[in-house]
């Protein structure tokens, strides 16, 4: 049945408007109509709430009490997606941290199966490692980290449908291997990296277009060596994911980065673990991880992903960084859609776009979400 969303504040091209209603027909937005329009459709009275494009999270390790690495299956992906949907995420990349090649192959097959089964919101896979710098591995196991080669390129680009995002340390991958990944359809991001500025810039020239959790687990900006961070801030074509929980990165550092590049160069990500929508602790490759003061850490206090959801990331972008609400919403939808090359279908409320939407109160709490027009 068609839906007509009325009486809301609708985010249209960066502006919250009260003079429009939104007509959805099936999986697509059919039209933007005057606020008082009538249509042969079920009316959804937003009662003054916000209607925004659904959130797209490119880094989701787990949720609902399950971890993708533990059980790389379509059922796990469905459970993760269901947990995050409650917080406005209508599109996501299940994320596999560094693991052995057979596990990577199973994870890719699971995403293909999830897409074939119609699991709501699955847009592809994020393979975060194992092609990382052991010096910047963070919570990743050193025993899982390996050198990328042509066989690795073949492995990580097996996905038949959806997008493949690969995080690697650019200093340990030749430009030719990065070019090969891009030629096979992968989106490449730098992360867990000790790259010098010139090494990271060479990777950008070869086709690297992303940075994974900027500032965390990478060489910092220095006065004589700009490092990985400096290369990202000096590369107009790179979009960086940021974890805005007040703990991964100081809000002032994020304000400085956004001032340097502009907000449209940054996308909100959660780096979420199973505790989002499911408990306060879990096991990660033999280590017990607990939520302490709002963050996931091991016994030594090493960060292990986050307990963040996308709605809270949006609230924090407004409250901690001081961004306009419209900007924060775009960083959770339009920017990641553009990063994945999906901007023709996702991330905007406009005729012809996918009807993946989120309804939010004035306090930015999620009331309801729709994925391809389905609640």
- Provide the CATH number for the domain around residue 262: 3.20.20.140
Predicted model pTM: 0.97
Q: Is the dihedral of CA 342, 345, 347, 350 positive or negative?
A: positive
User: Could you report the per-residue pLDDT of 217-249, keeping only the tens digit for each?
Assistant: 999 999 999 999 999 999 999 999 999 999 999
Q: Is the dihedral of CA 294, 296, 297, 301 positive or negative?
A: negative
293 pLDDT band (50/70/90 cuts)?
Answer: confident
Q: Would you say residue 287 has pLDDT above 90?
A: no
Same domain flag for 12 and 150: no
| Residue 345 resides in a domain | no
Same domain flag for 68 and 47: no
Which residue range forms the structural domain that includes residue 166? 55-339
Q: Would you say residue 125 has pLDDT above 90?
A: yes
Same domain flag for 122 and 193: yes
| Residue 180 resides in a domain | yes
- Check whether 345 is labelled as a binding-site residue: no
pLDDT of residue 89: 98
CB-based contacts of 183: which residues, under 8 Å, 6+ apart? none
Percent of the chain having pLDDT more than 70? Answer: 100
| Residue 344 resides in a domain | no
Same domain flag for 12 and 140: no
Spot the catalytic one: 57, 99, 245, 271: 271
Q: Would you say residue 280 has pLDDT above 90?
A: no
Q: Would you say residue 284 has pLDDT above 90?
A: no
- Check whether 371 is labelled as a binding-site residue: no
Same domain flag for 17 and 72: no
User: Could you report the per-residue pLDDT of 16-45, keeping only the tens digit for each?
Assistant: 999 999 999 999 999 999 999 999 999 999
Same domain flag for 296 and 165: yes
- Check whether 200 is labelled as a binding-site residue: no
279 pLDDT band (50/70/90 cuts)?
Answer: confident
285 pLDDT band (50/70/90 cuts)?
Answer: confident
371 pLDDT band (50/70/90 cuts)?
Answer: very high
Same domain flag for 251 and 234: yes
| Residue 375 resides in a domain | no
Same domain flag for 362 and 335: no
Same domain flag for 37 and 89: no
Same domain flag for 67 and 35: no
- Check whether 330 is labelled as a binding-site residue: no
Same domain flag for 188 and 330: yes
- Check whether 213 is labelled as a binding-site residue: yes
Q: Would you say residue 261 has pLDDT above 90?
A: yes
Measure CA of the first residue to CA of the last residue in the chain; give whole Å. 12
If we measure between CA atoms, which residue out of 173, 183, 256, 186 comes closest to residue 214? 256
Q: Would you say residue 158 has pLDDT above 90?
A: yes
For the chain, what is the domain count? 2
Percent of the chain having pLDDT more than 90? Answer: 94
- Check whether 299 is labelled as a binding-site residue: no
Does the active-site annotation cover 307?
no
* 41: CATH: 2.30.40.10
> How would you classify the pairing of strands 357-360 and 50-53?
antiparallel
359 pLDDT band (50/70/90 cuts)?
Answer: very high
Tell me how far apart the alpha carbons of residues 43 and 368 are, in angstroms, rounded to a whole number.
15
């Amino acid at each position: 049945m068609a839906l007509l969303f009325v009486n809301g504040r609708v985010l249209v091209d960066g502006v919250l408007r009260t003079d429009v209603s939104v007509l959805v027909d099936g999986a697509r937005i059919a039209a933007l109509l005057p606020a008082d329009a009538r249509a042969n459709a079920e009316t959804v009275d937003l009662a003054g709430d916000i209607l925004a494009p659904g959130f797209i999270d490119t880094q989701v390790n787990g949720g609902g009490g399950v971890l993708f690495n533990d059980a790389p299956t379509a059922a796990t992906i469905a459970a993760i997606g269901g947990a995050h949907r409650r917080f406005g995420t209508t599109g996501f990349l299940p994320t596999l941290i560094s693991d052995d090649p057979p596990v990577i192959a199973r994870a890719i097959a699971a995403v293909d199966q999830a897409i074939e089964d119609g699991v709501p919101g699955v847009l592809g896979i994020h393979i975060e490692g194992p092609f990382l710098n052991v010096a910047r591995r963070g919570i990743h196991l050193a025993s899982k980290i390996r050198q990328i080669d042509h066989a690795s390129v073949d492995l990580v680009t097996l996905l038949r449908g959806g997008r493949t995002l690969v995080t690697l340390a650019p200093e340990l991958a030749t430009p030719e291997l990065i070019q090969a990944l891009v030629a096979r359809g992968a989106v490449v991001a730098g992360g867990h990296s000790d790259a010098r500025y010139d090494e990271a810039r060479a990777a950008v020239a070869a086709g690297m277009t992303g940075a994974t959790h900027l500032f965390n687990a990478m060489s910092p900006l220095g006065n004589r060596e700009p490092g990985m961070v400096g290369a990202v801030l000096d590369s107009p074509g790179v979009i960086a994911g940021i974890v805005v929980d007040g703990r991964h990165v100081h809000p002032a550092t994020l304000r400085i980065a956004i001032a340097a590049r502009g907000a449209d160069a940054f996308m909100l990500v959660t780096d979420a673990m199973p505790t989002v929508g499911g408990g306060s602790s879990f096991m990660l490759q033999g280590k017990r991880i607990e939520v302490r003061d709002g963050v996931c850490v091991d016994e030594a206090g090493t960060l292990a992903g986050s307990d963040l959801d996308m709605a809270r990331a949006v609230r924090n972008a407004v409250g901690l960084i001081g961004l306009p609400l419209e900007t924060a919403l775009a960083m959770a939808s339009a920017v990641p859609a553009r990063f994945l090359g999906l901007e023709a279908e996702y991330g905007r409320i406009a005729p012809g776009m996918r009807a993946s939407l989120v309804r939010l109160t004035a306090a930015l709490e999620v009331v309801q979400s729709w994925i391809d027009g389905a609640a």
